[in-house]
Amino acid sequence: MIALGIDTSNYATSIAVVDYENNKILLNEKQFLPVKQGECGLRQQDAVFSHIKNLTDILELVHNKFDLSCVQAVGVSVKPTNEENSYMPCFLVGKLVAQAVKAAVNVPVIHTTHQDGHLNSALFSLNNETLYKDKIIVFHVSGGTTDMMLVENGQIAETVGSSNDLFAGQAVDRLGVKLGFPFPAGVYVSQLAEKCTETIKPKVSVKGLNCNLSGLQNQCEKLIEQGYDKEYVCRYCLSFIAETLIKMAHNARDIYGNLPVVFVGGVMSSQVIKEIVENKMKNIYFVEPVFSSDNAIGTAAIAARKVLYG
């Protein structure tokens, strides 16, 4: 089962081709959307234009590397999440390209969401059918979400926890941009944080299954004003996020039992967060950054499973 995946998020333009039954990635191409220095994101009309430009280049690259006549299904993210009224114009670009591929090679197109794509990219990477079938807890932590979800049969059953204000990725990106890094700034913040060896124990704000992260941005700005070095401030930021997720996960396990916990999303690419969480929790799963950050592998996997298993 060869499937093509397309994802046009607010961060990156991504196309992937996977051989699902053999658990192989045949092609994985991604281009980040250009953001002006000092800014934290794009207006939607600029994102749409960038996706059109990026897809022109990426599709030419795909054509030179891969015979699209072999594709048996196309998966495309058409909105951010499964929540009612979830919508972003940038996803319409991917939807249009998917319909064009359908017209050209006459294959089914499966519409999905960006969040489902993240989930299934991780499950494809882990290649553990038990995680597909059993009930699990999944954190999707990025610039647009800090969601804790119950997942069953590879599908999101319910979002049970989230941030009441700022998303984790927003806090990381705003800190990175303030420190002079380009957007998205997560990789730079994580690299600096790895250079700090201090053990940091921030006081986090978690009530039940939800959290508050707006205070994190204020605390990081205060640390900078007080003269703390960049490495310390970056580690403080990521430690705060890690401890927040740990507390949310513990509270969820108190309610739903000791379920496996899978961490996905761009923020979960951080080695610092991974190490902190792994030191304090068991029965958890992280994936390599290529599967955790924005990508089209998951949308391809969703299309393949839909055609194979219904």
Each residue's pLDDT tens digit, 131-155: 998 999 999 999 999 999 999 988 8
**Residues 151 and 207 occupy one common structural domain:** yes
Number of domains in the chain: 2
**Residues 154 and 274 occupy one common structural domain:** yes
Whether 4 has a pLDDT exceeding 90, the answer reads: yes
Q: What's the predicted TM-score (pTM) here?
A: 0.93
CATH code where residue 298 lies: 3.30.420.40
**Residue range 185-212: mean pLDDT, rounded:** 96
**Residues 258 and 221 occupy one common structural domain:** yes
Secondary structure (3-state) at 38: coil
Provide the token pair at 38. Answer: 């000092």
Each residue's pLDDT tens digit, 105-123: 999 999 999 999 999 999 9
| Rounded alpha-carbon distances, angstroms, from residue 228 to 94, 203, 238 | 43, 18, 15
Length of the chain: 310
Whether 102 has a pLDDT exceeding 90, the answer reads: yes
Q: How confident is the model at residue 192 (pLDDT cuts 50, 70, 90)?
A: very high
Whether 193 has a pLDDT exceeding 90, the answer reads: yes
C-alpha 239: how far from chain center? 19
**Residues 119 and 238 occupy one common structural domain:** no
Instruction: Report pLDDT for 40.
Output: 87
For residues 229 and 185, the answer to whether their CB atoms sit within 8 Å is no
**Residues 224 and 167 occupy one common structural domain:** yes
Instruction: Report pLDDT for 154.
Output: 87
**Residues 175 and 217 occupy one common structural domain:** yes
For the chain, the straight-line distance linking the first and the last C-alpha, in angstroms and rounded, comes to 13
DSSP class of residue 181 equals P
For residue 184, whether the previous peptide bond is cis, meaning omega lies within 30 degrees of 0, is yes
Whether 268 has a pLDDT exceeding 90, the answer reads: yes
**Residues 117 and 236 occupy one common structural domain:** no
**Residue range 21-31: mean pLDDT, rounded:** 96
Instruction: Report pLDDT for 99.
Output: 96
Of 29, 36, 30, 34, which Cα lies nearest the Cα of 50?
A: 34
**Residues 139 and 17 occupy one common structural domain:** no
**Residues 54 and 69 occupy one common structural domain:** yes
Whether 31 has a pLDDT exceeding 90, the answer reads: yes
Whether 68 has a pLDDT exceeding 90, the answer reads: no
**Residues 240 and 143 occupy one common structural domain:** yes
Q: Which domain holds residue 86?
A: 2-126+293-309
**Residues 283 and 134 occupy one common structural domain:** yes
Whether 3 has a pLDDT exceeding 90, the answer reads: yes
What count of other Cβ atoms lies within 10 Å of the Cβ of residue 86? Answer: 14
**Residues 226 and 247 occupy one common structural domain:** yes
Phi-psi region of 212 (alpha: psi -120 to 50; beta: other; left: phi over 0): beta
